[in-house]
Amino acid sequence: MTFRSKAAAFLGYRTIPTTIITVLSYLAILLALRITDKLEDVPKPHKQGGLNITEAYHDLQMITAQPHPYNSHANDVVHDYILGRVIGLANEYPGVEVILDNISNVTFATGAPAGIYFEGTNILVKIEGKDDNYHTTNASDIETGSVLFSAHYDSVSTAAGVTDDGMGVVTLLQLIRYFAEHRQRRTAVFNINNGEEDGLNGAHAFLEHPWAKLCDSFLNLEGAAAGGRPILFRATSTAPVRALRNVAHPHSNVLSADAFSRGVIRSGTDYSVYTGLDAHPRGMLPSLQQNDGQETFRMSDPRGGMAGLDLAFYKGRSRYHTKYDSSQYTLGGERSLWAMMDAARGIGEGLLSVPLDKGARPDGKRIINGDQGVWFDLFKWQIIVFKLNTLLTWNIILLVMGPILLALLVFTERFFLLQRRPHDHTSHEGNNSQRPVVAGSQPSTVPGNAALNPEGTGQAQESSHPHLWYFSRHSTSSVPRLNAGAPASEINGATTIPPVHVNHDLASGNGHGHGHTGTQKHWALEYTDNIWNHAKFWFALAVVAGLLAGLTAVYVAINPFSVYSSPYVILFSFISLAYLGLVYTITFPAWVPFYHSKYGPTTAGSLNPMQEHKQAIFLHLYVFTWILLVIATVGITRVDPGVAGGYLITIWNGLLLIACALCVLEGLTTRQYSFEGTGEYPAGSDDGELPRRSHRHVEDAGVEADERTPLIWHGANEGRAPEAEEDSHESLGTWWWLPQFLVSVPIPVILSAQVVMLLLDAMPQSLADGGKPLGVYIVTALPAIFIVLPLAPFADKLRPYRLLSMSIGLLLVLTTLYAWLRFPFDIKIPLKVYFQQRVVLPADRINGSSLVNVAATVSVAPIVKTALSGPEMYVRDLIPYLPSARGQTPLCEFESLRSGLLTCEWDSSSLMPSPGRVAPPPGAPPGRRPRPDAAPVKWAKDELLKASVERTSGTTAQITVRGQNTRNCRVYFESHAIADFNIWTNNAESEDDLSLGRRLTPHGEMQEGYEIGPNGVNELRLWSRSWDREFGLDVDWRSFANKTSPSETLRGRISCNWNEYESALVGNIPRNTKLPNVQLVTVAAAKDTASAKVPAYEEALTFLPDWVTLTKYTDGLVEAWAPFAI
């Protein structure tokens, strides 16, 4: 054999070459995705490009020494540390301005519906740009555009906050130093904000500051998991996304933005505030006002409106907001921190070096580019960015022009194939063309594209019966097989076939001599074969979908949370089942026992059956993606915002169009198939794996055996010269499959695999936050189908390789059993459950309430309950672990706040919480000194709050509330929604002047875009920057009062929250830490201090099993309330 024929033996369209290249391709893709998903090592100090990982990690340790939520004294410690660091940087570098924003207060309403009053303690830094065009403070100037960099320094009460958001904060500290040393064109503004975890309050407060009006774009750093490589969670438009081109290892996919838009990911970040995403659309949602007793409506005009990016961690969500969000449990450790620092620097340089694309918002007030974009990375190496309108344009082109082009190509192919047919010079009188060779006749010389002449003359006979399949227990043939790869006429000009005895009736298709009936049978088999040839793809697709649906149902029934900890095991079980279902359905019935394919003489000038089958599958796979492309296009045009994740379908459909064109070229350039004898299809002689035939087969063929007859009959190779054997492997037809494979398989598989990796790293552990496991299994199964489906056209060559099928079958069995039997949680991937302790105080704690007289007749002892929320099938089993719950039957009900979770509560009066007491020293910053309206108050034992209510008219009331050692209280309204509320601000010098110094915040000062909607609010959340603040407010429920009885009772609850507990108060920061221009005030340095205690939480931390971890249920670990009625 020549070198070319040897190469063709390895790369030709045969079972072993096709299998090897397929396996190697998938392994290479898997290996590349795995390697590029790993974090890079931290570079040496001299290669960090102006950043300092050592300094940043030291800052991280100082900031995350203990939990530091807004409502904690540790929060003040962190605040002072960060303030000292930025003041030191401002002293070191000129052009750096620092503001401690203890002035910005904000009142706004959310869609909960809840009204919020918040006093900010943000730390703001500004670094002037070197381009004079960006120094103006005129916000209406189109050239004015500062870039905002944002991260929050508060944590939740149950976590130290390393990834959420300590890494973001220390990254900003590094960027301040970097941009102070490397001045950029545009001005950089840094908002290191407080209160994000309790409702994005710090970002709302920033919008009240004048610097917010200077910014037209932003980068928000966040952490929604436990580390790893940060991802571009979402972006407003293509303009800011292009800044990722400056990042060495960009990681992004527009599917995460789609998930946020559809509510699949329910975490909120400051991105929503800066973009105005949560604001009422202008002119859409009116807000209620009172004007001379008449109800009027004022259109909202939302603030925010910036273009920007959300960069966040997303892996390991089971550790999110738990004790595992600490340095020793962070995925990647310092490498994770470096990944965020490096990405933020690259994005920051990109945003600061060029102005944002010009484009005015509909209200004309702010600069924003509204072009929705499409973006995704390739192996964390290259970012692909283009506009959604561009994707829509390509979709329309492919939907319209693709089918037209493909139809023209197929028509051209068929036309040329018909032109290639030789002219039929044989008489068609009678049924002579069906007459077999008669025994004893002379050897026949048969031209390349001819059927056997019944007279043995070798004249061409065109058969009306293409290859036919049917079941038989014999593998004999009445006609030997000619070389399908090359016409017999090219093999020394002719092929000599030995005389063969054939029964005339059998050749006619009827053992009893009824030729007409045999012809009908052949026609029926041919018709059935043609239908199956075009229907088997759709049938296989349905079989795969059904198999995966069945396996999903079994997972959900047996071990629904297996995907929580073993998502990739589930994925490989889905891929294995999908592969086996696909290839075995498409190649049916070739693999059925005792089945042998028989081909009658095929139509002269037609394609090889292998080519025909591959081409048919390609065609139907293209039709399938065309249908998906229609759906994707509807998602762009009919959904707001448009679904951009359909880029995968667009690319796949375009590649399949190219592959189908290659199939047409294959048909036009390869030699045509003449006719076949028997050979097991598809793994028969076409692969060089001819079935062996015994001496009995020779006898069946009608060949007289003598002493020269070989022991093993090679009937299928009879008349096949060695030159023909080589030529069949060298022919162009054996090579066409390779470009078809390279075009249609690797790229769709890579894109689908990247999508499924993103989904499986982000979604499964969100089950602890609520939701049904079924949804996660579905989003795992769909990409599994897309990963396997590109192999459909090559199933004929993959299925016969039994070792591959057996290996995949074994993988299916092992992964399925593992997922069924493994307990889904452990210390590395724990089950996250929600904790809260609730204290119900007697009604006499609220002065002025009409319930006081009723409360006097019943017990006045507080009712203390502990509540755990989690998945129903596990949370009940956790209660007996806790000593305080033993012997009790907990009350359980399903959650309204988090769908799918069950909340169980029980009496824990023996574990009464204590708020503690911290008196700030005389040198404390102004925001922590006692306010005039917070004069020393005597607190009784177990007294947690003081409150009063007073009705001022038929539909208005005044409410006051003060909590001990807290700066967060709430008011719930249960009988009526509130149409309006005003918060008191006090400028009085003494307690006696309180009534004179009170100033009511008018309704017009509510933040634009976040006014109260027509349905009012049912809850007010109050936040103060000072401790022991007495909140005063007026409420009005006129719009929701009963018109026939306007003076009916207003009922509700008044509560306060606490977040501090003893184990969280253990200080890890050295006392009297000195920082430039700031004296760090630590809790340990304060006098008159009593530690806060939440013994129920400490009990849960101690006694729950190690596969369970705790997180906060809501703002406070402890909430105490008392009912009221007026």
Give me the residues of the chain with pLDDT under 50, please. Answer: 136-137, 139-143, 282-301, 358-369, 423-514, 599-605, 674-704, 708-732, 855-857, 933-934, 987-1004, 1044, 1071-1072, 1076-1087
Report d(CA 212, CA 205) in Å as an integer.
10
Lookup result for tokens 């929701």? 1040
Q: Which residues fall within 8 angstroms of residue 237, CB to CB, at 6 or more apart? A: 307, 357, 368, 369, 370, 371, 372, 373
CA 719 to chain centre: 60
Report d(CA 1087, CA 1107) in Å as an integer.
39
Query: Read out DSSP for 625-660?
Result: HHHHHHHHHHHHHSSSS---TTHHHHHHHHHHHHHH
Q: Would you say 1097 and 819 are in contact if contact means Cβ atoms under 8 Å apart?
A: no
Q: Is 985 helix (H, G, I), strand (E, B) or coil?
A: strand
Q: Which residues fall within 8 angstroms of residue 116, CB to CB, at 6 or more apart? A: 106, 107, 108, 109, 110, 199, 201, 204, 1020, 1021, 1023
CATH T-level fold of 48-371 = Aminopeptidase (3.40.630)
Report d(CA 646, CA 650) in Å as an integer.
7
Q: Would you say 162 and 331 are in contact if contact means Cβ atoms under 8 Å apart?
A: no
Task: Convert 269-300 to b/e letters by CB count within 10 Å (16 or more is b).
Answer: bbbbbbbbbbbbebeebbbbbeeeeeeeeeeb
SS3 sequence of 516-549: HHHHHHHHHHHHHHHHHHHHHHHHHHHHHHHHHH
What are 999's two structure tokens? Answer: 């100033």
Beta strand 122-127 with 188-193 is antiparallel
Q: How many beta carbons lie within 10 A of that of residue 770, not counting itself?
A: 17
Taken in order 503, 508, 510, 516, is the CA torsion positive or negative?
negative
Residue 162 gets which letter from DSSP?
I
Report d(CA 486, CA 810) in Å as an integer.
40
Taken in order 937, 941, 945, 950, is the CA torsion positive or negative?
negative
Q: Which helix (DSSP H) or strand (DSSP E) does residue 376 occupy? A: strand 373-378
Among 1009, 1014, 1010, 1013, CA closest to 361: 1009
Report d(CA 893, CA 885) in Å as an integer.
17
Report d(CA 914, CA 900) in Å as an integer.
32
Lookup result for tokens 């009496």? 907
Q: Which helix (DSSP H) or strand (DSSP E) does residue 951 occupy? A: strand 945-953
The domain locations on the chain are 3-32+443-821, 48-371
What is the greatest pairwise CA distance in the chain?
A: 131
Determine the pLDDT at residue 706. 52
Determine the pLDDT at residue 681. 41
Whether residue 413 lies in the annotated active site = no
Among 463, 452, 474, CA closest to 680: 474
Task: Convert 927-949 to b/e letters by CB count within 10 Å (16 or more is b).
Answer: bbeeeebbeeeebeeeebbbbbb
Type of residue numbered 659: A
Q: Would you say 737 and 8 are in contact if contact means Cβ atoms under 8 Å apart?
A: no
Report d(CA 1022, CA 199) in Å as an integer.
12
- Dihedral through CA 741, CA 745, CA 746, CA 749, nearest 10? -170
**SS percent in the chain: helix, strand, coil, step 5:** 40, 20, 40
Residue 1044 gets which letter from DSSP?
T
Determine the pLDDT at residue 671. 59
Report d(CA 720, CA 718) in Å as an integer.
5
How many degrees, rounded to 5, is the angle at CA 838 between CA 836 and CA 843?
160
Beta strand 1108-1112 with 891-894 is unpaired
Determine the pLDDT at residue 522. 65
Per the residue annotation, which of 119, 128, 196, 222 is the catalytic one? Answer: 196
Lookup result for tokens 């053992």? 511
Residue 888 gets which letter from DSSP?
-
Q: What's the distance, Cα to Cα, between the start and end of the chain in Å? A: 102
Report d(CA 800, CA 266) in Å as an integer.
47
Q: How many beta carbons lie within 10 A of that of residue 1044, not counting itself?
A: 6
Alpha helices in 93-209 (DSSP H): 167-181, 201-206
Q: Which residues fall within 8 angstroms of residue 887, CB to CB, at 6 or more apart? A: none
Q: Which residues fall within 8 angstroms of residue 155, CB to CB, at 6 or more apart? A: 64, 67, 68, 69, 161, 164, 165, 166, 197, 325
Determine the pLDDT at residue 612. 84
- Dump pLDDT digits (tens) for 167-207: 999 999 999 999 999 999 999 999 999 999 999 999 999 99
